[in-house]
Homo-oligomer: A and B are copies of this chain.
Amino acid sequence: MSERLLFWGSGSIPCWKPMLVLAEKGIDYESKQISFSEKGHKGPEVTALNPRGQVPTFKDGETVICESNAICFWLESMYSKQGTELIPSDPKEKAKVLQKAFESAENMQTKAMQGVLYYYWRTKEEDRKEETIKENLDNCRNELTVWDKYLGECGHDFVAGKQFTLADVFFFPFLAWAWRMSLDFNKFPNIKKYFESVRERPSVKATWPPHWNEGEAQPEKMAYLKSL
């Protein structure tokens, strides 16, 4: 039994991020998958460590950390010499990686997820406004265009350069989630190339949300992003 323990749920972007870090660095841990539909994240095992009842919830020896970004930074700092170096030591490279990591965390979340899909899921059909839907889709398209341009510039293989870094850990799960929601990647050729290459990475394959392999998303969850 490992002294490290991670509670996680399938398809959660916050869970996927530390899982990618653990895989990239080759850190062994006991993996405890909870079921969101059975409210496993609100169960006694998780809430004993994380009173908010959320996943990821991570324990390394006596240390508990539950915020996805915090876990990523902590792991990279504690296991800096192990596996992939996710934050380069060179100042300029480090700046680039931190910039792109937080730029995706901020914009992909608010513009792609919250703006488009959360609005669709959380607003009753009769309350949805055409004007808001259009504005949200425009924002999402513009945001993806920004990243498509980034990935096209300088022939970058990864979000912040020639190496897989924390910026990819923060960016890729959003992209995979958009793919799951049936975004047409042909509209963003550089993103498509990046996605198809990075999805074959061993760390990504090893942590791919298991229920995504079992079938497509429910059609009603897909319709909105498909129209982008």
Known: A73-B98, A74-B98, A78-B91. A106 touches B67 (CB 8 A): yes
Q: Contact between A99 and B67 (Cβ–Cβ < 8 Å)?
A: yes
Total identical chains: 2
Interface size on A (CB < 8 Å)? 28
- Residue of B with least CB distance to A167: B70
Interface stretch (choices A19-27, A58-66, A174-182, A190-198): A58-66
B-facing residues in A81-129 (Cβ within 8 Å):
91-92, 94-95, 98-99, 101-103, 105-106, 127, 129
Most chain B CB atoms below 10 A, which of A63, A77, A94, A95:
A95
Output the least CB separation between A138 and chain B (Å): 16
Residues of the B chain whose Cβ atoms lie less than 8 Å from the Cβ of A91? 63, 74, 78
Q: Considering the chains assembled together, what is the distance between the CA atoms of A129 and B126 in angstroms? A: 13
Q: Contact between A99 and B62 (Cβ–Cβ < 8 Å)?
A: no
Output the least CB separation between A24 and chain B (Å): 18
Residues of the B chain whose Cβ atoms lie less than 8 Å from the Cβ of A106? 67
Output the least CB separation between A29 and chain B (Å): 15
Q: A63-B92, A66-B99, A70-B101 are in contact. List 11 more A-B contacts (CB 8 A).
A: A52-B146, A67-B99, A67-B103, A69-B102, A70-B98, A70-B102, A70-B103, A73-B98, A74-B91, A74-B95, A127-B129
8 A-B pairs in the complex with CB atoms less than 8 angstroms apart: A62-B92, A64-B99, A66-B99, A69-B102, A70-B95, A70-B98, A74-B94, A74-B98
